[in-house]
Structure formats: C-alpha cells, structure tokens
Chains A and B, each alone.
Chain A
Amino acid sequence: MAQTKKAAQNKKKNMVAIIDYGAGNIFSVKNALDYLGAENKLTDKSEDIINADKIILPGVGAFPHAMQMLNKNGLADVIKTQAKKKPFMGICLGMQIIFEKGYEFCECDGLGLIPGKVEKIKDMGLVIPHMGWNKLEKINGSNIVKEDNIYTYFVHSYKAVCDEKYIAYYCEYSEKIPALVQKDNIYGCQFHPEKSGEQGLKILENFINL
C-alpha cells in the first residue's frame, strides 16, 4: 500500500513510456499499469521516450522483425541512449532484443544493452514453446523482486545466454532459462509480469516505484 501511494503521489513525475512498435500485444502491459495507477503512454515517438521517467519495451513475435521495426522508426538508437539514463524494462521479446545478438531464423543484431545472445531453447523432449507458470530461482536477486517462491507466466521458444552476473533469477525447464536479467537500471523479464497474477503486478509496481 505504501508503495502504491507513492506511485500515486509521484504521478506527475513518473511517466512510463510503453514503446509501441507494432510487435504484439501491448495492451495487457498498459492495462496493468493503469490498474496500478501509474501514468503511462503508448508511444512510438522519440520525444516521448526521451521525456519519460521510465521505459517499458514489450514485445511478442520474432527477434528480426522486432529489430527491423525499431530500426525503421529510428527508435533503436533512442532506446540505446535513454536506457542508460533511466529505469528500463524489456518484457519477453522486449527482453531478448536487449542482448547483442539473436538467432531466431537468422543472425540479427539486438540493442546490445546487456552482453549476451539469444538462442532456441533446447528441446530435450519437452514442449517448445516453454509455456506456463514456472518458479523463479534466485541467482543474484533483484531490487524489483521482494518475495520468495514466486511463480511467473512464461510463453517463449528462445532464451538468453549471458554471463551469470547479469542473471537475477532463472527458471528450470529443459535447461536453466534466464528469467530476470539485470544490469544497473536495465531490467529484462523473460516472463510476463502483466500476466503473472498479483506477484507479477508487484514486480511491475516495484519497477514503477524505482
């Protein structure tokens, strides 16, 4: 409650830009922020991202298409600069493209905000996509996750490969999958906090209140 009040008080100074670049369902992220009382704007304009206090990059679909859309709009460069200045969160595909390279269909450059790459999940007889509720297992932890034994909702076929120092939490499937990565103020959620019930909303809320 204390935190939500803070979000309300900070309304004027806490604008979250949700980047709308034509890649998938962004409305559930917007719904979640509205529900939490956080001021937000769906946008594909550079000035909105520059003026925002926080940035969320959602995304569903394929890595090369998402990068193509961000490059076409000239947003990729803006994100690269702005993500270093204010709290930034990539969700699902938005998390994957913050790495340096992706290998979905073809090799493709990402935003390079965190060193690492994105590869297909090993199948090992388990179903791909990895879809469902999985438990967050702690490695380094994160200041936006304050509880233990949290299950979050995943839907994806590719996963990040990066140095363990960037992995806040992973989950166990056919192999260990980075679930929340973090480098300074840059956060990447492989899961969907906006679809992970109350505990997912809490993570979003903690991010908004940074």
Chain B
Amino acid sequence: MLAKRIIPCLDVRNGKVVKGVNFEGIKDVGDPVALAQEYNRQGADELVFYDITASHEGRGVILDVVREVAKKVFIPLCVGGGVSTVDDFREILRAGADKVSINSQAVKNPQLIKDAADIFGSQCVVLGIDCSRVKTQNPNSQNTENEHTNSANISEQKYTVFVNGGRIDMHLDLIEWVKKATELGAGEICLNSIDTDGVRGGFDYDMLNAVCAVTNIPVIASGGLGKIDDFYDVFTKTNASAGLGASLFHFGELTISQVKEFLREKDILCRIAAANASHSQVNS
C-alpha cells in the first residue's frame, strides 16, 4: 500500500526561500537548492515550492529554481503560486516540476482543472483549498440546507472556501467544491485550514474528515502542525494521504527523519530514506 507522505513546503520570493529557515551547516538559509537537498536527505517524500513573488519580473525566477533543484534532488516536486493558465502549467512542468498547485484561479475558473488534467494528466493537478468554518451559522436555520446535508452525516459543520491567500470569502461550500473539483479531474487536494493555520494546535481533523468523505483522491493536510504527535493524529483520525509542514521543519524543531521514525514505531506506513547517500561525489 502507499506510504503516508511528509512534505515540507518552501515559500520562495524572487528565488529565495523566505520565512527564516534555520539549519545547521547551511550557510545561505535562503538557498532553495541547499534546502531541497537537506530535506531530501532527511527523507522528504515530495517538495512544494510556493512562489510568493509579487512582481511580474520575478516570475521567471521560480522556473530557474525548479530547474536547479531538479538537477540535484530526485523526488517529486510541486510548484504553486500565481498559476492561472494551461501555459503556466506547461512552463512549470517543462522546468522539471512533476506537479502544479492551483488555488484561487481554479475557484475563479474551474475549467482550468479539467483543461490541465486533460493535457498533462490528473496526477500533476494539485488543488489547494484555503478554507474556514462558517461561524455565523444559526442552529435554527438548518432547514435551508437540506439539499447539502442529506448527502451524508459528514458533519453538522459548514465550511467555506477563501481565495487570495485566505483574504476573500467566496461563499463557496467546501464540500460542493471538492466534489466538483474531483469530477473535473483534480489529482490531489491540499486542504489548508485557515482556522488552525499558524495556531500550532494540530491539523483540522473535522474539516479533513468532511473532505475525505466525499472524494477518493489523495488529500494533503495543511495548517496547524505544532508537534510530532500531530502527524500520528492526522494519519489515524483521518484518511489524509500526506501531511504538509513549514515552519516546524524550517526552524529545525523537527526533522523529517524524526517524524518518519516516530510514525514507523507506531506502525504507520512511511518511507525511510536511505541512510547513506553516496552518488553525488562522482563529478567532484
């Protein structure tokens, strides 16, 4: 069976990793190639580069980053941030990425999911969703939602999808969006809970379960990672296929190898990377 995946996410601006990554032995902590190599050494199952470059001029830089990483790190690479067309997909995949992540643009133009999946295959279309629990719900107004709630006992909770980095509420129901995206051919869903993101109190298990109940494509848990046990919880309380982490890994509070060893001791299926990596010296 498939191993559960642990995925570090790197935010890249103008070719540099931001969010103060802190590793011993790496001089330039902003160097995406050095960090990718380090995470690969630790046993990361995939790497996500999220391009937060604001300017148009900076956009080409992420492609150079991918090209350089793809020459030295041989695990699946996913790139997201600002992707809005099939041509963007093509460019990123040609640079050496294996997957492309889309988010806001897919909400605005769902056809992008289908177009990209038809051309490049579902396996490289990762749909990022930023989502929050609806807080204004009145318990007495349930009758307005029969249409949605009769499909499952998923949860009494309602969730709504946000775009533009979690700033704009699209008043789009999460469950409906997941079903639609699955039909359109999304290959994976990276579900980021706005409610748990940054809180470090664990992933949003209810939200993950609500999504896993209505789709069979892999779901990546994002937002809320605070300690090693959170990975155990996400793989035992939900059907998530992968857990995404950022600052906890970047600050060196946890290494991926520690997480993998911890999970393996608890009988969670995961890949332990080779202890000795000895090919790279051929050219030197």
A195-B279 contact, Cβ under 8 Å, with A27-B70, A132-B218: no
Assess whether B40 is in contact with A197, with CB atoms less than 8 Å apart.
yes
Assess whether B218 is in contact with A198, with CB atoms less than 8 Å apart.
no
Q: Smallest CB-CB separation from A149: which chain B residue?
A: B272
A100 to chain B, nearest CB (A): 25
Assess whether A151 is in contact with B3, with CB atoms less than 8 Å apart.
yes
B18 to chain A, nearest CB (A): 26
Q: How far apart sit A188 and B283, CA to CA, in the bound complex (Å)?
A: 28
Assess whether B96 is in contact with A134, with CB atoms less than 8 Å apart.
no
Assess whether A36 is in contact with B279, with CB atoms less than 8 Å apart.
yes
Q: How far apart sit A147 and B272, CA to CA, in the bound complex (Å)?
A: 13
Of the candidate stretches A63-71, A121-129, A161-169, the one touching chain B is A121-129
Q: How far apart sit A197 and B257, CA to CA, in the bound complex (Å)?
A: 14
Contact with B along A103-142 (1 / 0, CB 8 A): 0000000000000000000000111011111110000000
Assess whether A133 is in contact with B5, with CB atoms less than 8 Å apart.
yes
A153 to chain B, nearest CB (A): 6
User: For B70, what are the chain A residues with a Cβ–Cβ distance below 8 Å?
Assistant: 27-28, 31
Assess whether A133 is in contact with B273, with CB atoms less than 8 Å apart.
no
User: For B3, what are the chain A residues with a Cβ–Cβ distance below 8 Å?
Assistant: 132-135, 151
Main SS of chain B's interface residues?
A: loop
Q: Smallest CB-CB separation from B283: which chain A residue?
A: A37
Assess whether A133 is in contact with B74, with CB atoms less than 8 Å apart.
no
Q: How far apart sit A197 and B3, CA to CA, in the bound complex (Å)?
A: 14
A28-B96 contact, Cβ under 8 Å, with A35-B280, A195-B74: yes
Q: How many residues of A contact B (CB 8 A)?
A: 42
- Asked if B122 lies at the interface with its beta carbon under 8 angstroms from chain A, I say yes
Q: How far apart sit A147 and B275, CA to CA, in the bound complex (Å)?
A: 12
Assess whether A202 is in contact with B75, with CB atoms less than 8 Å apart.
no
Q: How far apart sit A57 and B217, CA to CA, in the bound complex (Å)?
A: 29
Q: How many residues of B contact A (CB 8 A)?
A: 36
- Asked if B241 lies at the interface with its beta carbon under 8 angstroms from chain A, I say yes
Assess whether B74 is in contact with A1, with CB atoms less than 8 Å apart.
no
Q: How far apart sit A154 and B187, CA to CA, in the bound complex (Å)?
A: 14
Assess whether A131 is in contact with B123, with CB atoms less than 8 Å apart.
yes
Assess whether B282 is in contact with A37, with CB atoms less than 8 Å apart.
yes
B123 to chain A, nearest CB (A): 5
- Asked if A14 lies at the interface with its beta carbon under 8 angstroms from chain B, I say no
A window 22-62: CB within 8 A of B: 25, 27-28, 31-32, 34-37, 60
Q: Smallest CB-CB separation from A127: which chain B residue?
A: B216
- Asked if B152 lies at the interface with its beta carbon under 8 angstroms from chain A, I say no
- Asked if A200 lies at the interface with its beta carbon under 8 angstroms from chain B, I say yes
- Asked if A201 lies at the interface with its beta carbon under 8 angstroms from chain B, I say yes
Q: How far apart sit A125 and B2, CA to CA, in the bound complex (Å)?
A: 14
Q: Smallest CB-CB separation from A60: which chain B residue?
A: B121
Q: How far apart sit A129 and B186, CA to CA, in the bound complex (Å)?
A: 12
Q: How far apart sit A134 and B241, CA to CA, in the bound complex (Å)?
A: 13
B window 265-281: CB within 8 A of A: 271-274, 277-281
| 10 pairs of residues in contact across A and B, judged by CB atoms under 8 Å | A4-B281, A27-B70, A28-B74, A28-B96, A127-B217, A132-B5, A133-B2, A172-B1, A195-B75, A199-B273
Q: Which residues of A contact B (CB under 8 A)?
A: 1, 4-5, 7-8, 25, 27-28, 31-32, 34-37, 60, 125-127, 129-135, 147, 149, 151, 153, 155, 172-173, 194-202, 205
